[in-house]
Amino acid sequence: MALALFRKAEIAPLPDIEAASLRSDRFRLERETDWRRLEAIVEALEKNRLRRISDDDLLALPVLYRQAASSLAVARETSLDAATLTYLESLVRRAWFQVYGPRTSLGTWLRRFLGGGWSAAVRAIWLEICIALVAMIAGTAVGWLLVARDSDWYYALVGSEMAGGRHPGAGRDALAATLGGAEPGESLTVFATYLFSNNAGVTIMAFALGFAFGIPTLLLLVYNMALLGAMLWVFADAGLGWEFAAWLSIHGTTEILAILLGGAAGLHVGRSMAFPGDRSVLAATSDAGRRSAQIMAGAVLMLVCAGLLEGYGRQLVTEPAARAAIGVAMLLFWLVYFLLMRTRPEASET
């Protein structure tokens, strides 16, 4: 009796398995024509064979994609066979990239970005750049004046790690020694990496703080440049103002400009939130965010250049005149690029 019941329990699921198989076959047969049509369109798009796709197929592509995505959801809910699930998952993923995915390759995007897209985005936020520039100049002046009035402010603004032997009261020779190049065997790669990460952190923070209507961004710019003003006073007081300016310029023209752009991008987002104009706050912020993200991508490239100049160029080039020449040349390069590089017709965004 027990053996009969066990055999009955063992055989009972078979009709359910057959029913599930029939249900899966019926589900696939009812929709397979649309799936195959979608697959053919996607395959032609992947191979850049647009001429082989009819106008009707192009218009039907979004509808076919949504139908396939719906079929995949149903297939998952009803636990259809693994082959159907695998096929639909692959088809929906490929179709998604054709419907919603990027239309250009990385190389094409990079050509558009460097060929005028980045410079156009920078020119579009000229007002925020002016505001950020005023804040940075004010910060430099504040740092200079505070330390000139009371040298204790120097230690409040500049930490001991950043000072590196550069402090008020240090002798001219001691300060001049800190402006020299790298000693033989010193690891410039590690130094360049450290400087890049530090400067990138300031730039990204200036951008990220823009969400609070740009006020924290302005404060960060003022504080960051106050450090520079304080250190500048120390060297000028020792009669090394020109040497320090040359030491700083070889990388500073690129680095400070990148920080300026990062702060301006953050201000652009904050100003769009505070003053959206005729658009909704969400629409204005979304548009500003896309433009600011493009500017930040370029700012990161500038920081890479600044890190290399600071970690290698400044350590290997020791003559103040040569350092200043490199710094001025880099500044002119960036200004010419941002002011004169225009988007070519083939590089314009659709």
pLDDT per position as a tens digit, 297-334: 999 999 989 888 887 887 788 899 999 999 999 999 99
pLDDT(347) > 60: no
Once rounded to an integer, what is the mean pLDDT over residues 89-116?
79
pLDDT(335) > 60: yes
User: Is the overall model pTM greater than 0.85, yes or no?
Assistant: no
What per-residue confidence (pLDDT) applies to 186?
A: 47
Cα separation, 132 vs 88, whole angstroms: 51
DSSP 251: H
pLDDT band, very low/low/confident/very high, at 124 (cuts 50, 70, 90): very high
Is the separation of the CB atoms in 128 and 268 below 8 Å? yes
Q: Which of 224, 222, 217, 219 is nearest to 274 (CA)?
A: 217
pLDDT(81) > 90: no
Once rounded to an integer, what is the mean pLDDT over residues 153-160?
82
Cα separation, 236 vs 19, whole angstroms: 89
Cα separation, 217 vs 210, whole angstroms: 6
Structure tokens at 231: 């250190």
pLDDT(276) > 80: yes
Cα separation, 307 vs 314, whole angstroms: 10
Q: Which residue has the higher pLDDT, 217 or 46?
A: 217
pLDDT(9) > 50: no
Q: Which of 188, 210, 220, 199 is nearest to 304 (CA)?
A: 199
* 24-28, 43-47, 202-206, 326-330: segment of lowest average pLDDT: 24-28
Q: Please classify residue 218 by burial: count the beta carbons closer than 10 Å to its beta carbon, then call 0-12 exposed, 13-18 middle and 19+ buried.
A: buried
Cα separation, 45 vs 37, whole angstroms: 13
Once rounded to an integer, what is the mean pLDDT over residues 115-123?
92
Once rounded to an integer, what is the mean pLDDT over residues 278-285?
87
pLDDT band, very low/low/confident/very high, at 343 (cuts 50, 70, 90): low
Q: Which of 52, 30, 26 is nearest to 40 (CA)?
A: 52
Q: What is the DSSP string of 304-341?
A: HHHHHIIIIIHHH---HHHHHHHHHHHHHHHHHHHHH-
pLDDT(16) > 60: no
Once rounded to an integer, what is the mean pLDDT over residues 22-38?
80
Structure tokens at 240: 């090394």
Q: What is the DSSP string of 99-117?
A: HTS-SS-HHHHHHHIIIII
Once rounded to an integer, what is the mean pLDDT over residues 89-110?
77
Is the separation of the CB atoms in 113 and 298 below 8 Å? yes
What per-residue confidence (pLDDT) applies to 302?
A: 94
Q: What is the DSSP string of 25-55?
A: HHHHHHHHHHHHHHHHHHHHHHTT-GGGS-H
Cα separation, 116 vs 337, whole angstroms: 9
pLDDT(192) > 60: no
pLDDT(165) > 80: no
What per-residue confidence (pLDDT) applies to 83?
A: 79
